[in-house]
Structure 1
Amino acid sequence: MPFSRVLSVVGCHAEGEVGDVITGGVLDVPGSTMYDKLVHFLNKKDELRQLLLNEPRGRASMNTNLILPPCDPRADAGFLIMESEEYAPMSGSNTICTATVLLETGMVPMKEPITELSLDTAAGLVTVKAECEAGKCKSVEFDNVPAFVFKLDYQVNVPGIGEILVDIAWGGMMYVLVDAASVGLKIDSQHSTQLVDIGERVKRAVQASYTPIHPENPKIRGVTNIVITEPLTQEGDCKGAVNTVVVSPGRFDRSPCGTGTCARLAVLHARGQLLENEIFKHRSIIGTEFMSRIRGVTQVGEYQAVLPTVSGRAWITSFKQIVLDSTDPFPRGFRVGDQWKMLPN
């Protein structure tokens, strides 16, 4: 067969967000940390991400996770998160997908009713508790790395909109958070074009004026995503809110976004709107939910931080082999502007 690449992939989604998992066909790479391995793939092996996420094999609204041996001896497995425009240090929906695939395929032994495991990510060690029954991973709860706020009510001038206030926070990725009403929007798929357009404009305006730098890894810097929020409400014995995250190249996260939820937990706590161990229910633009809470507080460099815990569900959708024919004219795929709204320069 004239194939120059064959990859084994398990299709999966977490609350609507696709997070496929590569289970075979990729060897380990050098690196003393998972972040080192991330940099290695970014600089030397990025054709893998492009092959899987660009058309014709991929699409804008998906992610792919790569399971690798962990660097941290406490971890059961390591994984890297490949998105359309970047390698994310951490992602909640992708953690839920990866844990589900590891358990349901037997790569990590499943124990009922609760399986505990640790995953090594580029952002640090993440611990997982999975609720399991009859061979099914019914839900995944993960204790994320600390989340903290860089700026509250940061004033930024957005072309075509004017001066607005945003929050900037770390939740495993760097986020700008903006209230939908403050930019004349409501979170609804009917307003998708405006939400994506204004979200990207706000993000670029922040990128042009402020660069947050992670105090423990200065190579992690700059905002890459934007959380558009609806107001916090009381919902019975918990608090809740709707959000949508605009992910490059111009599309919504279908899930409530795990690291975006963690960033919002940090903002809500900094504003005194959410206390430790209060339950926060975060809903996505398609109505799916992540449950979350602040399990404690800590310090990260000069920043007061929260310890976030998030839970959600994932489902395996396929078992597939991805191949690259040696005569294929698109070994790194391609992009067309009808789907990839924000084409690279």
Structure 2
Amino acid sequence: MRWKRVMQLLDVHCEGEIGKVAIGGVPKIPGANVAEQLAWLNSDPKGKELRHFLVLEPRGAPIGSVNLLLPPKHPQADAAFIILQPDQAHASSGSNSICVTTALLESGMIEMSEPETVVMLETAAGLVRATATCRDGHCESVSLTMVPSFVHRLDAVIDLPKWGEIRFDLAYGGIFYALVDVSQIGLRIEPGQARRLVEAGMVLRQAVNRQFEVVHPEIPAISGVAYVMFRDVDPDGAVRTCTTMWPGRVDRSPCGTGNSANLAVLHARGKVRPGESFLSRSIIGSQFEVGLSGISEVAGRPAVIPTIRGRGFTFGLHQVALDAFDPLHAGFALTDVWGEALAELGEQQA
């Protein structure tokens, strides 16, 4: 076979959200730390080529992420990783942290200890402590201590032709979010409205990034609103979420970084105190337990330390390969599957 590149991927999902883990064949990514590696993946043509190789058709699909497993740079870290998605490489993710932890332990790359194994994960956003509950060689659940999360701006307003004034919060939970109460757009967070939620999320994300500039005060490689997360409250008090992801899908999990950002907002409004926790449900009803473990600060601004608890499951192992003679080796995406935002943002093809 005329393969120029071969990579091994372990298939994992966290509460329904696919987070494949590249465990073999990962090329060396330039950078003195993971934030610099993230910046390289998002700026260098070779970084874009690698991302498109893994996430675009014919090898990839709109659903899910691919996690590049990397040698750690931080002395306390057991492993490092960067999340690849169609729009860019991302700094942090709760569901993907759970997928990576599950992959490391169940593949034997890190020795599993029962009843509990601690894995320190290095991300571009900082260290994430993953505490896995283990039994009979299986990773039953993972509790993450996330990076410090903070509010950038409460009650920001944007005026859009379809809905008029939309009020939202800008907050950071490992990446930046615009957090929007779903009632403002006349929709509900339920499976039958996923397409309409995505369409609204793509419009809002583009408009917010046009009018509001957000950059992490200590990590310049993390900038811009990555996602719009719609939120609601279920009758039992659980937070219902729907994170909309470019170019046109919803997160199947309750979203760890989104809930971390929302936790910072809830704390700023006096609705959650240290030591308290609550359930968060996704659009498909899967759940995370979200907790506030402590208070911190980032560049002089108040921050919270979130915890996210969920489950990861392995479901396959496969290889992807690059045939140097394949005329579609660069990858492609079409709006019939990937959504209208693909054309609107001028990214019809890699």
Listed one character per residue, the Cα deviations across residues 96-135 of structure 1 (whole Å, up to 9, x for unaligned) are: 0000000001101100000011011111111110000111
The reply to whether residue 198 of structure 1 matches residue 196 of structure 2 is no
Listed one character per residue, the Cα deviations across residues 123-155 of structure 1 (whole Å, up to 9, x for unaligned) are: 111111000011100001111100111111111
Q: 2:278 aligns with which of 277, 280, 291?
A: 280
Q: SS of the counterpart of 1:214?
A: coil
* TM-score normalised over the length of structure 2: 0.95
Query: Aligned partners of 2:226, 2:80: CA distance in 1, in Å?
Result: 23
Aligned residues of 2:76 and 2:120 also touching (Cα < 8 A): yes
Cross-structure match for 1:68: 70
The reply to whether residue 93 of structure 1 matches residue 99 of structure 2 is no
The reply to whether residue 181 of structure 1 matches residue 183 of structure 2 is yes
Query: Aligned partners of 1:117, 1:190: CA distance in 2, in Å?
Result: 37
The reply to whether residue 303 of structure 1 matches residue 305 of structure 2 is no
Query: Aligned partners of 1:308, 1:232: CA distance in 2, in Å?
Result: 21
Aligned residues of 1:97 and 1:314 also touching (Cα < 8 A): yes
Aligned residue identity for 2:189:
I
Structure 1 runs, 4 residues or longer, greater than 4 Å off: none
Cross-structure match for 1:337: 335
Aligned residue identity for 1:207:
N
Query: Aligned partners of 1:36, 1:51: CA distance in 2, in Å?
Result: 21
Listed one character per residue, the Cα deviations across residues 21-48 of structure 1 (whole Å, up to 9, x for unaligned) are: 0111123333221011122233132212
Listed one character per residue, the Cα deviations across residues 188-227 of structure 1 (whole Å, up to 9, x for unaligned) are: 1222232112222222221121111211113322112001
Cross-structure match for 2:25: 25
Query: Aligned partners of 1:318, 1:46: CA distance in 2, in Å?
Result: 26
Q: SS of the counterpart of 1:111?
A: coil
Listed one character per residue, the Cα deviations across residues 137-195 of structure 1 (whole Å, up to 9, x for unaligned) are: 00011111001111111111123211121001000111000001122111112222321
Query: Aligned partners of 1:29, 1:209: CA distance in 2, in Å?
Result: 33
Cross-structure match for 1:6: 6
Cross-structure match for 2:85: 83
Query: Aligned partners of 1:194, 1:64: CA distance in 2, in Å?
Result: 25
Give aligned pairs, total: 341
Q: SS of the counterpart of 2:113?
A: coil
Q: 2:213 aligns with which of 204, 211, 217?
A: 211
* TM-score normalised over the length of structure 1: 0.96
Query: Aligned partners of 2:85, 2:27: CA distance in 1, in Å?
Result: 20
The reply to whether residue 320 of structure 1 matches residue 322 of structure 2 is no
Aligned residues of 1:179 and 1:231 also touching (Cα < 8 A): no
Aligned residue identity for 1:165:
R
Listed one character per residue, the Cα deviations across residues 61-98 of structure 1 (whole Å, up to 9, x for unaligned) are: 11000111111011011111111211111001110000
Query: Aligned partners of 1:150, 1:326: CA distance in 2, in Å?
Result: 45
Shift of 1:232: 6.5
Q: SS of the counterpart of 2:216?
A: coil
RMSD of aligned C-alpha atoms? 1.3
Q: 1:252 aligns with which of 250, 253, 273?
A: 250
Query: Aligned partners of 2:161, 2:168: CA distance in 1, in Å?
Result: 15
Q: SS of the counterpart of 2:327?
A: coil
Aligned residues of 2:8 and 2:22 also touching (Cα < 8 A): yes
Aligned residues of 1:15 and 1:255 also touching (Cα < 8 A): yes
Aligned residues of 1:157 and 1:205 also touching (Cα < 8 A): no
Q: 1:58 aligns with which of 42, 57, 60?
A: 60
Cross-structure match for 1:240: 238
Q: SS of the counterpart of 2:247?
A: coil
Aligned residues of 2:195 and 2:249 also touching (Cα < 8 A): no
Query: Aligned partners of 2:329, 2:120: CA distance in 1, in Å?
Result: 34
